[in-house]
Structure 1
C-alpha cells in the first residue's frame, strides 16, 4: 500500500514527539497490568491507601495551600506597589523584585538552615549574649520552614503576571475611580485587585507546579510529599509499581494545575480585550510621600531581602570564614559536568524546537499542531515523574531483550539524563522559538519561495537570521534550567560526573553546609543571567 507523502513528512515529527512524550505516557501503562501483576498492583495501591498515601496527600495539600496563599499575597502586593504608585526608587524595585528567581529553592533552604538551626550563628549568639539555653527559634526543617522558603523563592511568578495585568488594565480605571471620589483603599480593593485576579490565579498555578515538582527542599527538610514518596518507593523499596502509581497521581495534580493556569490565561486575554488599553498610557501612578512612601519601600524590600539578599549573605559567611576548607579543585570538575550537560541539552533542545516550530510554520494543520503539543507534554512535569516514566519502558525493554544492554546505556552514560532533560525542557525552547516565529510575517515565506528558496534554504537563509535572538534566549533558558535541575540528575547522572546541584544537595544533606555554599552560589550566579535579561526586557516595554 502506497503511503501518502504527507504521512512521510509527519512520521519523523511523530517519532520525535513519541520519544519526548514516552516517559510521561509510560506511566499510565503501570496502571494497566494484567494477571498476577495486575493483582499485585491493586494490592500495592490498597496498601498505600491504608498507610502512606493519606500522609502524602495531606502534607502536599497543606504545603501547596499555604504556599499559594503566601505567594499570592506577596506577589500581588508588590505588583500593586510598583504599578499603581510612584515613589523614589520604584524603577529599581521593579527589577530587584525579580532577583529571587535566580535562587533555586533548595539553595534558599540550605542557607536558612545553616543560619537559623540550633548550632547556627544566630542561636549561638543569642545564647551567649543573653545567657539563654535550649532552642530559641522554631525548627527550620519543618512544614512551616518549607512554606517560608517556597513563598519567597516563588512569589516572582505571581508578581510578573500581576504586574503585567495591572499595568495594562488598572491604571486608567484607578484614575476614573479617583475622579469619581473613591478613596485610595476602595480604588485598590474594588478596582485594581479584581482586574488582576486571572493573572494572580495563573501565577499561583505556576507556583503550585513548582512546589509539587520540588525534591530538594522537601527531601532536605524531611517532609513526606508525593515527590519524596516516589523516590523512596523506587530507590529504597525497589518497587517500580508503587513509584509509578505515585508518579501518576502527582502527574494528575500537575495536569489539573495546567488546566487551571490555561483557563486563567484565557480570562486574562478576555479581560485585556474587553477593558482596552487606550487610557492606560494617559493615567499616571499615584505619587506617594511620607509614611506611605516608607511603607511601599518596606513592602518591596522585604521579599527581596528574605528571598535573595539574606540567603546569599548566609552562604557567603562560611566562604569568608575559611576559604581553605572549600573543595576548589573538585569544584572545577563539578562545574565542568554541569556546563557540559547544560550545553549538550541546550543545543539539542533548540534543534528539536526549531524542527517542530518550522514544521508548524510550513503546515499549520491540526495534525501537525497535535504532534507538536504531544512533544511538549513534558512541560511542567516534575523531574521525579520524568525519571520514573523514563526508567519504566527501559526496564520493560531490558527484560524483553537483556542482550541489548539498554539499561546500562541509559543509567551509566549521559544518554539517559539528556533524554530526561529534553523531555522536561524542550517545551521551554519551543516556546521561545515559536514566539520568534510569531514576529516573522508569512509574506516573507511566500516571497522566498517565489525566489526559489524552500525547505532547508528557507530555514537557513530567511528564518535563521530573524530567529537569532529567540534561539539565543532558548539556549540560555534551557542551559540555566539544566544547571539547576536536581531530581532527575540525582538518579540518572553518569558515574563520577556529579553536577553542582547534586553536590550542593549531598553536602547539605551531610551537614557540610559550609562546603555546600560554593556550588550553591555558583548556581545563583548562573541563575542571575536570565533574570537580568528579563528585567531589561520588561524595562524596554
Structure 2
C-alpha cells in the first residue's frame, strides 16, 4: 500500500522539486513571469469564473426543475441532462468550430444565401474567443453540478419544504431561501469538479485560441524545451487546484444537514402547464442539445460522409493504441485501487488508513501537471536502468519509461485512480465485516477470505472501476500529448491533430468512437446514482391517513 501511495504522490513532489531546483537556463522564468504568466493567469481566472457561474445556473436550475416538477419531457431529462459528460471538451470545441467558424456550415450558408463575399460584409459572433470558450465548456461541464445538486435536492426534507409553503412562500422563494442554502455543500462540490476540468483542459482552449495556464505549460515544454519553466508554471496550476479544494472544503465546513424522523417521504412533483411548462422544458433541453445533441449530430454526419477517408491506417493504429493503453491502465489502476481499499479495510493503523486516501487527490491534478511531474522521476529511473543494463550486458539498453507507452499507462492509472478507488471502496462498504470474522472463525486465512469471499462479492464494483478508468483513459488528452512516444497516436491525439489542421470532418469518426465509449459510464452513473424514485405524480390526499383533527 505504501508503494501505491508513493507512486501517486511522486509526480506532485517532482513538479515542486524541479520548479525549485531546476536549471532555468537563459532566464526562462523571468521571461515567463513577465510576459506569459500574468496574461495566462488572468485568462484562466476569467474562464473559471465564467464557467462557475454558468454551470451553477444551469446545473442547479435543471436539477431543481426535474426534481420538484413535472413538465413536458421531464422524465427523459432526468438522465438526458447527464449526456454531455460523454463528450470531451476538445470534441465539443472542434464540432462547434465546424458549425460556427468562418468556413463552417452556418457562415458558409449565410454567405451563399445573402450573396456576401467575406466577413467584412456581415457580423457574426466569434466562437474563437474567451466568451465562446466559457459557453462551450459550460455546456459540457454543467452535469457535475446537476448531478450533485439533484442528489442533494432528493435528500432534502419534504416536510421542511412544505413548512415553507405553508408560511406563504411560493416555489421560487422556497428554492432561494430553503433548498438552495441546504444544497450549498453539494453545489460547491459540483462547481469544484467542473473548474478542475476547466483547468485541466488543453484541447478546447487551444482550438478556440484561449491562452490559459495549461496551454502555457504545454508550449513552454514543447516549444521552448524547458522542463524547469514548465514545472514552474505547473506549480502555479497546483496553487489553483489547491485553492479550489480549500474553497470547496470551506463551503462545506460546518454545513451538514440531516432530515429528522424515522422515514424519508419522497417528493411529490407539482405539474407545470402552459408557458411555465414550456419554459422549464426549454431551459432543460437547451443544455442537452448544446452539450450533446448538436455535437453528436455533427460527428455522426462527418463520420458517415467521410467514412472512406477517415478509416485509414492512422485511424486503425490510433484505435489500437487507445484500446491497448486503456485496457492496461484499467488493469493497473484497478490493482492500485484494490490494494488501497483492502488496506483501509484491514489495517488497524489510523494513520495508514488516512494515508490511503491521499492518492485519490491525484484526480484533482491536471493531466499536464501530472505529465510534467512524471518526466523527471521516470527519466532518472531510466538512466539507472540503462546504466545497470550496460553494466550487466555491456550493450546499450533502451529506455523503459521515457518516450514509451509505459509512461502513458502509469499516468492514466495515477490520474484516474480516484475513480477506481471510489468504486472499489463502495463495493467493500457493502460487504459486512461480520462475514470476514465468520470466515476467519471457520479457519480460513486472510488470503483465503479475500479470494473466496470478498473478491466474488466485489466483481460488480471491480467491473465498474475498470470501466471508469478505461473510458477516462481513452478520452485523456493533456497527459497523452506530453508523454506519448514519437509518432505515436491515440484516438484523442488523432482527433486533436486533425482538428488542428482544420480537417474537422475527417476527425469525426475517431471523435464519435470516443463519445460512444464514454456513454457507458454515463449510463452506469445514471443507473447507480440517479435512477431512484423521486416521488410520484400529484395524487388525491388519503384522508384516512390524516389525524382526525385535519381530516
TM-score normalised according to structure 2 size: 0.90
Instruction: Report the counterpart of residue 528 of structure 1 in structure 2.
Output: 519
Decide whether the 8 Å contact of 1:18 with 1:374 is kept in 2.
no
Instruction: Report the counterpart of residue 152 of structure 2 in structure 1.
Output: 165
> 5 Å matches for 1:419-430?
419-430=410-421
Instruction: Report the counterpart of residue 466 of structure 1 in structure 2.
Output: 457
Query: Which moves more between the two structures, 13-22 or 523-532?
Result: 13-22
Query: Which moves more between the two structures, 401-410 or 62-71?
Result: 401-410
Instruction: Report the counterpart of residue 10 of structure 1 in structure 2.
Output: none
1:539 to 531, 536, 542: 531
1:243 to 218, 230, 235: 230
Instruction: Report the counterpart of residue 165 of structure 2 in structure 1.
Output: 178
1:148 to 119, 132, 135: 135
User: Relative to 1, partners in 2 of residues 1:406 and 1:441: Cα closer, same or farther, differing over 3 Å?
Assistant: farther
Report the Cα distance in structure 1 between the residues aligned to 2:25 and 2:252, rounded to whole angstroms. 38
Q: Which runs of 5+ in 2 are unaligned?
A: 389-395, 534-551
Report the Cα distance in structure 2 between the residues aligned to 1:406 and 1:159, rounded to whole angstroms. 52
2:6 to 15, 18, 21: 18
Deviations 1:371-429 (A, max 9, x none): 31343341221110011100022344567786358983223322111111122112211
Secondary structure of residue in 2 paired with 1:376: helix
Report the Cα distance in structure 1 between the residues aligned to 2:45 and 2:36, rounded to whole angstroms. 14
Report the Cα distance in structure 1 between the residues aligned to 2:7 and 2:172, rounded to whole angstroms. 54
Instruction: Report the counterpart of residue 139 of structure 1 in structure 2.
Output: 126
Instruction: Report the counterpart of residue 366 of structure 1 in structure 2.
Output: 350
Q: Which runs of 5+ in 1 are unaligned?
A: 1-12
Decide whether the 8 Å contact of 1:171 with 1:285 is kept in 2.
no
Report the Cα distance in structure 1 between the residues aligned to 2:111 and 2:32, rounded to whole angstroms. 44
- The alignment status of 1:221 with 2:208, answered yes or no, reads yes
Decide whether the 8 Å contact of 2:303 with 2:512 is kept in 1.
no
Secondary structure of residue in 2 paired with 1:410: coil
Decide whether the 8 Å contact of 1:72 with 1:155 is kept in 2.
yes
Report the Cα distance in structure 1 between the residues aligned to 2:233 and 2:110, rounded to whole angstroms. 43
Report the Cα distance in structure 2 between the residues aligned to 1:346 and 1:177, rounded to whole angstroms. 48
- The alignment status of 1:54 with 2:38, answered yes or no, reads yes
Deviations 1:43-81 (A, max 9, x none): 543332221110111000001000100110000110111
Report the Cα distance in structure 2 between the residues aligned to 1:364 and 1:185, rounded to whole angstroms. 50
Query: Which moves more between the two structures, 280-289 or 243-252?
Result: 280-289
How far apart are 1:278 and its partner, in Å? 5.9
- The alignment status of 1:441 with 2:432, answered yes or no, reads yes
How far apart are 1:215 and its partner, in Å? 1.0
Decide whether the 8 Å contact of 1:141 with 1:222 is kept in 2.
yes
How far apart are 1:449 and its partner, in Å? 0.9
User: Relative to 1, partners in 2 of residues 1:282 and 1:104: Cα closer, same or farther, differing over 3 Å?
Assistant: closer
Report the Cα distance in structure 2 between the residues aligned to 1:80 and 1:377, rounded to whole angstroms. 30
Deviations 1:181-235 (A, max 9, x none): 2223222222222222221111111111000011111122222111111111111
Report the Cα distance in structure 2 between the residues aligned to 1:419 and 1:206, rounded to whole angstroms. 23
How far apart are 1:471 and its partner, in Å? 0.5
Report the Cα distance in structure 1 between the residues aligned to 2:428 and 2:263, rounded to whole angstroms. 30
User: Relative to 1, partners in 2 of residues 1:190 and 1:375: Cα closer, same or farther, differing over 3 Å?
Assistant: closer
Deviations 1:496-539 (A, max 9, x none): 54111110000000111010101001100001111111122221
Report the Cα distance in structure 1 between the residues aligned to 2:361 and 2:37, rounded to whole angstroms. 26
User: Relative to 1, partners in 2 of residues 1:267 and 1:469: Cα closer, same or farther, differing over 3 Å?
Assistant: farther
Decide whether the 8 Å contact of 1:172 with 1:279 is kept in 2.
no
User: Relative to 1, partners in 2 of residues 1:364 and 1:526: Cα closer, same or farther, differing over 3 Å?
Assistant: farther
Report the Cα distance in structure 2 between the residues aligned to 1:299 and 1:202, rounded to whole angstroms. 23
How far apart are 1:131 and its partner, in Å? 2.7
> 5 Å matches for 1:295-444?
295-396=279-380, 403=387, 408-444=399-435
Secondary structure of residue in 2 paired with 1:100: helix
Decide whether the 8 Å contact of 1:425 with 1:478 is kept in 2.
yes
